[in-house]
Amino acid sequence: MLDLFHKGGPIMWPILLLSVAALTVVLERFLFISRERLRRKPSLVEDILTEVEKGRPETAAQLGKETQDFVARALTYALTHRDRSFSEAMLRAANWELKRFSRGLTLLDTTITLAPLLGLLGTVTGMIRSFGMLGGAELGAPTAITGGIAEALIATAFGLGVAITALLPFNYLNARLEEARLEMQDAASHVEIHLCK
């Protein structure tokens, strides 16, 4: 494997750095998602919604004071800061929560785009080196020419491999982000309907 890495040429170092950064983000995000899943308290969210239905938003806000559930936390913030508008306060709280869920996704997105491009750059530089040798004295040494072609193909393969590997967790994390957004939207709509009565 290390031999392949060295044959891939100097472009392999940025691809390696990208893959390490992407792996770090993926591991941190998976830990974050599992921690958030453990902190969820759907029964508490239901209790808050029930109190709002009964016309007691202050009691509902008190229920969620010390919670670590992100939906309950957003609802509590919106209920305690609804002097101007509940929907504006909820939007602000939801944005804070969603920002936590989307941390690192930009780096993964960049990795998915940049790794294949770096691989293609490695392909181009490897081919340039191979074709440069065709006109020189190295024509009698076919291994020198094929080495440049191998460098080109190895760089492309590694770049595509990193992008494909990062794509799967990126899609999973985006799905969790959208799920969190929908949960907060649903709870906010429920509260807003009862506050407007």
Tell me the pTM. 0.82
Helix axis angle for 70-80 and 142-195, nearest 10°, is 50
The contacts of residue 77 (CB under 8 Å, 6+ apart) are 89, 90, 92, 93
Q: Which of 53, 40, 44, 45 is nearest to 192 (CA)?
A: 53
What's the rounded mean pLDDT across residues 50-66?
88
Query: pLDDT category, 6, cuts 50, 70, 90?
Result: low
Domain with 109 in it? 2-195
Contacts 24+ apart (CB under 8 A), 52-56: 52/79, 52/190, 52/191, 52/194, 52/195, 53/194, 55/194
Neighbours of 109 (CB within 10 A): 14
* Torsion, Cα of 58, 73, 64, 55 (10° steps): 30
pLDDT of residue 57: 86
pLDDT of residue 156: 87
Percent of the chain with pLDDT over 70: 85
Name the residue with tokens 């982000």. Answer: 177
Position with higher pLDDT, 139 vs 17: 17
Q: What is the pLDDT of residues 113-170, one digit of tens each?
A: 999 999 888 888 877 776 666 655 555 555 655 666 777 788 888 999 999 999 999 9
Q: Which of 6-10, 87-91, 185-189 has the lowest mean pLDDT?
A: 6-10
Q: How many domains does the chain have?
A: 1
Percent of the chain with pLDDT over 90: 57
